[in-house]
A and B are shown apart, each in its own frame.
Chain A
Amino acid sequence: EDQVTQSPEALRLQEGESSSLNCSYTVSGLRGLFWYRQDPGKGPEFLFTLYSAGEEKEKERLKATLTKKESFLHITAPKPEDSATYLCAVNKLSFGAGTTVTVRA
């Protein structure tokens, strides 16, 4: 059974203070690791898909990386509008509980 653990549960940042979120996973075979952003009271919104160790993808202030056991979502110089819960999912259907990021101006 695929398992996903995200840490930390919550992260409070000052605007401009870069940080990283962790997604650790256990799978028998990785067919894809997905990152989503979820705003309060809304459905998740797709950010990235990663397939193999060493792969990296970037979008604005976000950069996702992947190893054989975990993925990181790096937020560089965050702005208040980056405040959200970030979810990762492995093999499409197994989600972690998310990291809630709050960025203060």
Chain B
Amino acid sequence: DAMVIQNPRYQVTQFGKPVTLSCSQTLNHNVMYWYQQKSSQAPKLLFHYYDKDFNNEADTPDNFQSRRPNTSFCFLDIRSPGLGDAAMYLCATSRAGDHNEQFFGPGTRLTVL
């Protein structure tokens, strides 16, 4: 089945220790997104890629970076995680166009100690 895969599902890191979350897709969609979702809150868009074009949301902290080496893979790097970065991180993909729905991965739950 075509899908969006996120690894790991659970990640524990220490305060200030860099961490990388990964996302892969078999849907061949040209748009990929990273969201941060805290408990009982709306998913918050961090950035997205339209093919290789990177789009950063204005309020995404510099501590968050992303890479998309090819169509299938996308990475989220948190350079110096703080306690406030503990959250669920969701990767999503879609075809281009405002009318196309997003397909979400299962998420990575990040804990910062």
**A and B found bound together:** yes
Chain A interface (Cβ < 8 Å from any Cβ of B): 4, 9, 31-32, 34, 36, 41-46, 49, 51, 87, 91-93, 95-98, 100
Main secondary structure of the interface of A (DSSP, over half): loop
Chain B interface (Cβ < 8 Å from any Cβ of A): 4, 33, 40-45, 48, 90, 92, 94, 98-107, 109
**Pairwise interchain contact B98-A46, C-beta atoms closer than 8 A:** no
Closest to A97 in B: B42
A-B contacts, 6 listed (Cβ < 8 Å): A43-B104, A43-B107, A46-B102, A87-B42, A95-B43, A97-B40
**Pairwise interchain contact B105-A96, C-beta atoms closer than 8 A:** no
Partner of B90, one of A4, A34, A43: A43
- Knowing A43-B92, A46-B101, A51-B99, the reply to whether A4 touches B42 (Cβ < 8 A) is yes
Q: What's the least CB distance linking A83 to chain B, in Å?
A: 16
**Cα A41 to Cα B43 with chains together (Å):** 13
- Knowing A4-B42, A87-B43, A97-B42, the reply to whether A49 touches B92 (Cβ < 8 A) is no
Partner of B107, one of A41, A91, A93, A97: A41
Closest to A46 in B: B101
**Pairwise interchain contact A31-B98, C-beta atoms closer than 8 A:** yes
- Scoring A44, A45, A51, A96 by chain B CB atoms within 10 A of each residue's CB, the highest score goes to A44
List 10 tightest A-B contacts by C-beta distance, closest first: A43-B104, A31-B98, A95-B42, A46-B101, A97-B42, A95-B43, A44-B104, A43-B107, A32-B99, A43-B106
